[in-house]
Structure 1
Amino acid sequence: MNDPLENAEECGAIEQAVRRHRDGHVEAAHDHVGQEWPIALVFNGISHAVMMCTPRDLEAFAAGFAVSEGIVERASDIRDIEVTFHREGVATPYAQVELTIAQQAFAALKARRRALAGRTGCGVCGIESIELLDLAPERVPDTGFLARLAPGAIARAANELPLHQALTRMTGGLHAAAWCDASGAIAFAFEDVGRHNALDKLIGRLVRDRLDATNGFVFLSSRASYELVRKAARVGIPMVATISAPSSLAIALAREAGIRLVSFCRESSYVEYDAS
């Protein structure tokens, strides 16, 4: 088993020896599987979270996590990001991302620190009490984007998404988060073993490049969980489209935030959830 690319930050998949079983026959072959590494997020020298993540686009991931989790209010509160990969002499490869954030943001973080390990699969794992559960999303401003949305935008995004899923084509096992304009054209997309991580990488790209988050929509190759909607609301994204089903809480939060939520998105159909 080896990395197909020399640098971990350029990977996302590894080659694996396999035995294919088909119609009673067994064939030795090689396949690719998506990488999943522990990623330690450290803010101003204090470890805050360990996420299970595909080890690429980690600067975007860290920036998006910091903003979408409310650790910082804006990208300018992040002074520096440094990524270190650890592969030699360790049982499990991992990466550490050290963020230097504004002192005011760091003071607020220390005041409300909580354990967030395992966040990839469960939006509230490690939370200490119900009172700490943040279910009051920001209201997304109405900039007129939804009125400008082309009738075929969702169909176009659904058609284009596979073109932006190189790792998924290779492994069959990663999620994608794509940024789309009013016509449904995909400007860029990120892939990760975790759907939350893929969205954080996309949000990181938006805030680091100072792109207008109110002037586009997110298309996700996953179900719509409450946390995905919550993250979108924090940066003002007006619409979330998903390939699979939403949860009841995702629908409720989208309604409260003023986000248009559409799911079961295909080239010929989708389901929209009423805002009232």
Structure 2
Amino acid sequence: MSGAVSKPGLSVGADGVRNVTRTLPDEVPVAVSFDGTTLAVMMATPNDIEDFAWGLALTEGVVTEPDDVEDFEVVTHETGIEARFWLKSDKAEVLKARQRALMGPVGCGLCGIDSLEGALPALPAVTAELRISREEVARATDALRAHQPLHDRTRAVHAAGFFVPGEGLIMAREDVGRHNALDKLIGALHRAGIDPAGGAIVLTSRISVEMVQKTARAGSSVIIAASAPTATALSLAEGANITLAAFARGESFDLYSHPHRVTTGASDVA
């Protein structure tokens, strides 16, 4: 599965109608199961499925260390893809506590959650004290733009990247769902042995509650996004000790919550 499919269509404009062929992003049902029980079924781009499954397992709190997993496999079916985890016996109760069905439209990170209280659980306070310059924050989304080959082909997917101060953007993942892209990135970092505390999460999307939750559980202390945070996401970030930089484009950005990590040159901020 390539992640994109070419389809015919009609282009209608002021100068008439013409036949076109467009490259469109693909999405398939991806089931993530643990010990034979499905935790989530999400519509996702069928690339980097191992990264996606591991990222979801980590951000849902079912898996915290590689040793938690006895076995893992990805199985392709006619109707979709299944990522199967087999856990060590002591993780069974954690799985039961986090059990929920997430079958729903792409981009919905809370579909099917069992209780309203479960939507906003307490987040761990991030302890990483990253320092990143104003110039690096301002150019982070532009750097991510250069790592979006699927977007270049389709103009219809999100991306999440990992920016390390002094090194730049070292990794990125794409998906039709912004939550999925972030899960893929977190899973890829985990599988590569890269500590998320050492860099900033960069997003093409707005900063919603789920994006802050996933970042906090990964242990990264800075989010840089091309769009805005929601008010609730900002409140969560404040409580979780996460710095939010929004509307990062060109030479400028807005800075919210724990701005001390960004060296702006202004004494009242930095």
TM-score, normalised to structure 2, is 0.91
Deviates more, 1:58-67 or 1:38-47: 38-47
Q: Give the corresponding residue for 1:236.
A: 219
Is contact 1:157–1:184 with CA below 8 Å preserved after alignment? Answer: no
**5+ long unaligned stretches in structure 2:** 260-270
Spell out, residue by residue over 1:178-211, the C-alpha distance to the aligned partner (whole angstroms, 9 max, x if none). Answer: 1111137110100000000000000001112221
| Structure 1 residue 102 displacement after superposition | 2.0
Query: In structure 1, which of residues 111, 117, 120 is the aligned counterpart of residue 103 of structure 2?
Result: 117
Residue aligned with 2:165, SS: coil
Deviates more, 1:246-255 or 1:266-275: 266-275
| Structure 1 residue 119 displacement after superposition | 6.9
Is contact 1:59–1:81 with CA below 8 Å preserved after alignment? Answer: no
Residue aligned with 1:264, SS: strand
Does residue 101 of the first structure (1) align with residue 84 of the second (2)? no
After superposition, where does 1:6-17 map in structure 2 within 5 Å?
8=1, 11-17=2-8
Deviates more, 1:230-239 or 1:206-215: 206-215
CA distance in 1 between partners of 2:247 and 2:66 (Å): 32
Q: Give the corresponding residue for 2:75.
A: 84
Q: Give the corresponding residue for 1:218.
A: 201
Q: Which amino acid aligns with 1:244?
A: S
What is the number of residues matched between the two proteins?
259
Query: In structure 2, which of residues 103, 124, 128 is the aligned counterpart of residue 138 of structure 1?
Result: 124
Q: Which amino acid aligns with 1:98?
A: R
**5+ long unaligned stretches in structure 1:** 1-7, 88-92
Query: In structure 1, which of residues 152, 159, 171 is the aligned counterpart of residue 142 of structure 2?
Result: 159
Question: Is the alpha carbon distance of 1:156 and 1:131 closer, same or farther for their aligned partners in structure 2, counting shifts above 3 Å?
Answer: closer
| Structure 1 residue 121 displacement after superposition | 2.5
Is contact 1:65–1:200 with CA below 8 Å preserved after alignment? Answer: yes
Q: How big is the alpha-carbon RMSD for the aligned residues of Structure 1 and Structure 2?
A: 1.7
Query: In structure 1, which of residues 179, 187, 202 is the aligned counterpart of residue 162 of structure 2?
Result: 179
Query: In structure 2, which of residues 214, 224, 229 is the aligned counterpart of residue 246 of structure 1?
Result: 229
TM-score, normalised to structure 1, is 0.89
| Structure 1 residue 131 displacement after superposition | 2.7
Aligned identity (percent) is 38
Residue aligned with 1:250, SS: helix
CA distance in 1 between partners of 2:257 and 2:243 (Å): 8
Question: Is the alpha carbon distance of 1:119 and 1:226 closer, same or farther for their aligned partners in structure 2, counting shifts above 3 Å?
Answer: farther
Spell out, residue by residue over 1:157-198, the C-alpha distance to the aligned partner (whole angstroms, 9 max, x if none). Answer: 222222101111110100000111113711010000000000
